Structure 1
Amino acid sequence: MAEPQEAVDALMQFGLTEYEARCFVALTQLPHGTAKEIGQVADIPRSRVYETMDRLYDKGLVALHNAEPKEYQAISIDRALDKLRAEYDSYFETAEEALRDLEPTYKKAEQGVWAINTHDQVTSRVVDLLEDADGEIVLVVLDEDLLDETTLDALQAADERGVSLYVGTDSETVHDPLGDVGLADAVFTTDLVEWFTAMEGSPRIGRLLMVDRGPILASALHEEELPGVPNETAAWTDGVDHGFATFAERVLTYELQREVDVELQ
């Protein structure tokens, strides 16, 4: 059976204060209650119960009976959760609108090459770039651990919305998962891929990504610090406005034009 504190903690994640959550949880355990009764169950001072219940009433989470003394009753759990969910969703919508309004200004103001220091962060950036693609994706993958389920899902989604996919590898352990999700035709190999694969020592190239001939990401694999966890770092840029990105874009575009007959732009 769940403990009251679990419910209190969960409600606080929805934006209720600790006292609001404790009073609401206490009231759900009572058919109705006065400030004294609620305070006893919630274990908070009666003087704080009144102001807390007023806030819960304003949020529509409790009903008030103007008796003497005042009595309160929690609305049904289903209705309460619907209200909290709607309010929580509204916070997301407000945040999304505000962030999207700010994003173009941010991107124009912050040109450059950016460093990423962990494997999870690299994967997150790769997936973000794949999800933003609307024309073409070129992804060179040189290690099977770097083609995880999240990346595969993003590649599948891009394929389904009509994005041209080109995945460079000469590793069967990379090729096979792509075939399993219907993307075998996207695989290509070149002398460049074979040269990258043959490199020894650390660090070595992990993956290269180019999206819509613009955003570029290049990652390096270092010696593992934790068994089974890739030690990956990367650099990425939003556009080909400087040497690193221009070089990577020209090399990848040339290899595509030479090996898979993709038109040079």
Structure 2
Amino acid sequence: MSDIIEHLMRLGMSEYEAKAYIATVVLGEGTIKEISDESKVPRSRAYDVMERLLEKSFVEVGNTNPRCYRANDPAEVFGHLIEDMEKARDEVVKGLEEIGSTAEKRNNPIWTILGEWAIDHKVLEMIESARREVVIISIHNDYLKRYAKNLAAASEKRSVTVVILEGTGDLIGLLGKARLLCVNKGKFSPPEPFISNAMETSDKRLEYDVEMIMVCDREVSVILSKEMSGHRAIISSGTVVDYFINRMMDMTIMEARECD
């Protein structure tokens, strides 16, 4: 039930609207009192909530006393809602692209990305746009497994090298033609001072756990980390961070061996 409430809220309902709508579906039809009792929405708020659902076409109301509400067919209602959202999305994207096409682009060599969706989008974009090679060191393999299909596809067209720590999982066969190497954890030394510098905020240092480092064409690097507040990616291009990450990559590959 909580998952449905969460999804309804993502589609624009308030928590009370989501609970009241679900209660109406459960009841088939019901009065304000019945819907309030079923949904645990306070009676003092239930009328306004149901009237908003009525305005949005999620429910219909009978000409009775007391008023009785009935849920409209969920498939039909949400089908129309998604159509409207897709039209709005297309118009928003078109408008923003037109506005953004004239914006001044600044050459900032280091960018921070937060949130799994945004991180995934950027990493996959980097993998697909790499011209010559992709090199990855994976400390924890959650990200690596998530991008395995994309790396396998990339390995058909360009060099892909993946280094994992010994004993962290069986990835043989998941990465296509990518070269899969294993390294002893004791021989892996990430360039902590330079990573720390990239992760530094204006007034404090973040507590983080580096999960994966990727370099594309020896030009652009990304450091993926897990923090108390979630996930973070640091994208760097043409900085001292990239230089030391490339050196670390080369040294780690020299110490690594083909995975059995």
Query: Would you say the 8 A contact 1:127–1:154 is kept in 2?
Result: no
Shift of 1:6: 6.2
Shift of 1:155: 0.9
Q: Equivalent of 2:154, from 144, 158, 171?
A: 158
Query: TM-score scaled to structure 1, two decimals?
Result: 0.54
Q: Is residue 214 of structure 1 aligned with residue 219 of structure 2?
A: yes
Query: Would you say the 8 A contact 2:138–2:165 is kept in 1?
Result: yes
Q: Equivalent of 1:52, from 44, 49, 59?
A: 49
Name the stretch that deviates more: 139-148 or 70-79. Answer: 139-148
Shift of 1:215: 1.6
Shift of 1:149: 1.7
Q: Which has the higher Rg, Structure 1 or Structure 2?
A: 1
- Rounded to whole Å, the distance in 2 between the matches of 1:219 and 1:245 is 14
Residue 167 of structure 1 corresponds to 161
Q: Do the aligned partners of residues 68 and 127 (structure 1) sit closer, same or farther apart at CA in structure 2, a change above 3 Å counting?
A: same
RMSD (Å) for aligned C-alpha atoms = 5.3
1:126-137 mapped onto 2 (5 Å cutoff): 127-128=123-124, 130-137=126-133
Deviations 1:220-261 (A, max 9, x none): 9xxxxxxxxxxxx99641x33x455468779999xxxxxxxx
Q: Residue 127 of structure 1 aligns to which amino acid in structure 2?
A: V
Query: Would you say the 8 A contact 1:136–1:213 is kept in 2?
Result: no
Structure 2: state its 5+ residue gaps. 193-209, 226-231, 251-260
Q: Is residue 70 of structure 1 aligned with residue 76 of structure 2?
A: no
Aligned sequence identity (%): 24
Deviations 1:4-41 (A, max 9, x none): x6654553343311221232122223343333443344
1:19-98 mapped onto 2 (5 Å cutoff): 19-83=16-80
Query: TM-score scaled to structure 2, two decimals?
Result: 0.55
Query: Would you say the 8 A contact 2:166–2:185 is kept in 1?
Result: no
Name the stretch that deviates more: 126-135 or 23-32. Answer: 126-135
Shift of 1:51: 2.3
Shift of 1:113: 3.7
- Rounded to whole Å, the distance in 2 between the matches of 1:85 and 1:138 is 38
Q: Residue 34 of structure 1 aligns to which amino acid in structure 2?
A: T
Which secondary structure state, in structure 2, belongs to the residue aligned with residue 16 of structure 1? Answer: coil
Deviations 1:134-161 (A, max 9, x none): 523231548795983224322123245x
Q: Do the aligned partners of residues 147 and 204 (structure 1) sit closer, same or farther apart at CA in structure 2, a change above 3 Å counting?
A: farther
Q: Equivalent of 2:176, from 171, 182, 189?
A: 182
Which secondary structure state, in structure 2, belongs to the residue aligned with residue 148 of structure 1? Answer: helix
Query: Would you say the 8 A contact 1:11–1:21 is kept in 2?
Result: yes
Select the structure that is richer in helix. Answer: 1
Which secondary structure state, in structure 1, belongs to the residue aligned with residue 8 of structure 2? Answer: helix
Q: Is residue 18 of structure 1 aligned with residue 42 of structure 2?
A: no
- Rounded to whole Å, the distance in 1 between the matches of 2:26 and 2:73 is 12
Query: Would you say the 8 A contact 2:58–2:72 is kept in 1?
Result: yes
Q: Residue 150 of structure 2 aligns to which amino acid in structure 1?
A: A
Report how many residues are paired.
Answer: 223
Q: Do the aligned partners of residues 243 and 203 (structure 1) sit closer, same or farther apart at CA in structure 2, a change above 3 Å counting?
A: closer
- Rounded to whole Å, the distance in 1 between the matches of 2:214 and 2:60 is 57
- Rounded to whole Å, the distance in 2 between the matches of 1:200 and 1:182 is 26
Residue 261 of structure 1 corresponds to none
